[in-house]
Structure 1
Amino acid sequence: MSVDVGRNQLRVSFSVQRDAALSMPDGSPAALLTFYGAECGMKAAILDRLGLRSTAQLPEHLRNHDLHRLAKELRLPPSLCKRMQPCASQNAHEQVAFAELHQAWRYGRSLRRDHEKEALAVLRELLDWCRQELRT
């Protein structure tokens, strides 16, 4: 079951999570807040563009953590979308999809440092885009 929230709640959550992530030292907690901040900002932008009030009104395919799909819905530059790549795990031959990075950081899965660094760079670009789009 998902929790539905309004456009203004998403805007506030975006700002709070972005500011908290930027004030923290690098690591999983900051990465997690960066991911969730980008998700909230992108969903707020989609609600704005579609004239919707709540996430309850979003189509089912946008009611998840798939930032790539949200980015495509917002028509973000293909060059940015292409950079939303899976990250390799540090000690295994497994990969973590970009949409599931929040789980890796939440549960403590170690990621290859270079992959994680690139994912965080993309997430920070998404935060910057959201800040400009939402004028916050």
Structure 2
Amino acid sequence: MIDLPQKALKRRAGELAKAAGEVTNENSRALLLFYAAECGLKAIYMARNVLRTTSSSHSARAATYFVHRLDELIVELKIPASTIAPRPASCVFAGKAVPVGELNQVWRYGGTLEDQPAVLKWLEILVAYVKKELS
């Protein structure tokens, strides 16, 4: 796994959020929002826990531990649901529930969730929160 400084994740979160606003393909936009949220949440986590790089750890786990599990990062950061809106109750693709940490796979391969608009709205709110926290 690549080891990156907190500053790089913070920068990349902004770049990905900006790119998400410029694409018209819904799956591409969803994927960019997902990764913007992931980079931003990890940057916040690293700042709060004084971790210099993604693989750094001490009393806190390394940011790499969370992989793509946005929901676990949200819990770890103690972000109230009222601040970012609760994630949609179900993320379903082809009749099967998809864990939040695997949503990127659905969009990476061109799939569409059954309730994709609600998931996109949640990611938009999450990215807005990340931008505010990192500014």
TM-score (norm. length: structure 2): 0.87
Deviation beyond 4 Å, 4+ runs, structure 1 = none
Mapped contact 2:6–2:46 kept (Cα < 8 A): yes
Aligned to 1:3: 2
Verify the 8 A CA contact 2:9 2:40 in the aligned structure 1. Answer: yes
| AA at the equivalent of 1:38 | A
- Relative to structure 1, the CA distance from residue 67 to residue 11 in structure 2 (aligned partners, 3 Å threshold; closer, same or farther) is same
- The CA RMSD over aligned residues, in Å, is 1.8
Number of positions where the alignment pairs a residue of Structure 1 with one of Structure 2:
130
> What 5-or-longer segments of structure 2 have no aligned partner?
none
Post-superposition Cα deviations, 1:4-59, rounded to whole Å, max 9, x if no partner, equal 21101101110110000011114111110100000000000011101111110152
Aligned to 1:68: 71
By how many angstroms is 1:117 displaced?
0.9
Q: Check whether the contact 1:62–1:69 (CA below 8 A) recurs between aligned residues.
A: no
Distance 2:88 2:108 in 1: 19
The structural deviation recorded for 1:85 is: 3.8
* TM-score, structure 1 as length reference: 0.86
**Shift in alpha-carbon separation, 1:62–1:129, aligned structure 2, 3 A:** farther
